[in-house]
Amino acid sequence: MDSLVVAHAGEASFGLGAAVGIGAFAGLLATALMNLPMQRLPEGSTPPFVAAGALTGDELTEVSEGLASLVHYAAGTLAGIGFVLVAEGVERVGAARGGIPGGDIVLGGTGIRLVPHFVAAMATFSVLFLFFGYVVLPLFGKEARDRARHVRNDWAISAAVYTAAVTLLLPVLTVAIA
* pTM exceeds cut of 0.85: yes
On average, the pLDDT of the chain sits at: 86
Helix (H, G, I), strand (E, B) or coil at 152: helix
Q: Are 63 and 49 in contact (CB under 8 A)?
A: yes
Find the domain containing 128 and state its range: 3-177
**Bridge partner list, 157:** none
Neighbours of 65 (CB within 10 A): 11
Give me the pLDDT at residue 91, please.
Answer: 82
Q: Annotate 139-170 with DSSP letters as a single string.
A: HH-GGGGGGHHHHHHHHHHHHHHHHHHHHHHH
CATH number, domain of 113, equals 1.10.1760
- Burial of 148 from C-beta contacts in 10 A (0-12 / 13-18 / 19+): middle
Give me the pLDDT at residue 104, please.
Answer: 65
Give me the pLDDT at residue 6, please.
Answer: 37
Give me the pLDDT at residue 113, please.
Answer: 77
Number of domains in the chain: 1
Indicate the residue type of 99: G
Q: Are 79 and 166 in contact (CB under 8 A)?
A: yes
Low-confidence ranges of the chain (pLDDT < 50): 1-12
| CA-to-CA dists, residue 128 to 13, 123, 124, 151, 160, angstroms | 30, 8, 6, 13, 9
Give me the pLDDT at residue 9, please.
Answer: 40
CA 14 to mean position of chain CA atoms: 21
Q: Are 76 and 114 in contact (CB under 8 A)?
A: no
Give me the pLDDT at residue 178, please.
Answer: 74
Give me the pLDDT at residue 139, please.
Answer: 87
Give me the pLDDT at residue 142, please.
Answer: 80
